[in-house]
Amino acid sequence: MKLHRVSRLAVLTLALVALPSFVGCGDDDQPTNGDTNPLIGSWSALSFAIAEFDLIDGGYTLIFTYGASGTYSITVTGDDDRFFCDTSSSCTMTGTYTATSSTIVFDAGTSDELTASYSITGDSMSLTATDDGATLTATFERV
């Protein structure tokens, strides 16, 4: 279902937003998963817009957590429309990611694979991705 695909994309995009926290010197092509990755930790979405509709303004809460082992989880609450969550207004989605200093790839090699661009400044992250013609933009703060 396309809505589910866009939902998964939105979640992945949010994850990308968290990546900017490890901007620095060095080769941008080197993976950043591991103990030195500033992406690791939890990020709360301040905005999460898909094709001009901001889910946060619509009452959603999205928390992205990135693990050092290359796994992520997204905790969703306030999903009364079941955009992300199939059976209730809250759920947790999980997957894998790889990242460089400016891109993140979610769920590589699966039908949900998504590549996003991100930047981190201090405890703030911004993220942008496109999937099936829909643009996703998000901003996050470290929690």
Structure confidence at residue 91 (pLDDT): 97
Does 18 have pLDDT greater than 50? no
Confidence (pTM): 0.75
Residue spans of the domains in the chain: they are: 2-142
Encode pLDDT of 81-122 as tens digits: 998 999 999 999 999 999 988 999 999 999 999 999 999 998
Structure confidence at residue 132 (pLDDT): 87
Structure confidence at residue 74 (pLDDT): 97
Structure confidence at residue 21 (pLDDT): 36
Mean pLDDT value across residues 44-53: 94
Strands 71-77 and 61-66: antiparallel
Structure confidence at residue 14 (pLDDT): 43
Closest to 60 measured CA to CA, from 48, 73, 50: 48
Mean pLDDT value across residues 42-50: 97
Neighbours of 21 (CB within 10 A): 25
Q: What is the CATH number of domain 2-142?
A: 2.40.128
With cut-offs at 50, 70 and 90, classify the pLDDT of residue 19: very low
For the chain, how far is it from start to end, CA to CA, in angstroms? 32
Does 31 have pLDDT greater than 60? no
> What percent of the chain has pLDDT above 90?
64
Closest to 128 measured CA to CA, from 41, 30, 48: 48
With cut-offs at 50, 70 and 90, classify the pLDDT of residue 49: very high
- With contact defined as beta carbons under 8 Å apart, do 103 and 116 qualify? yes
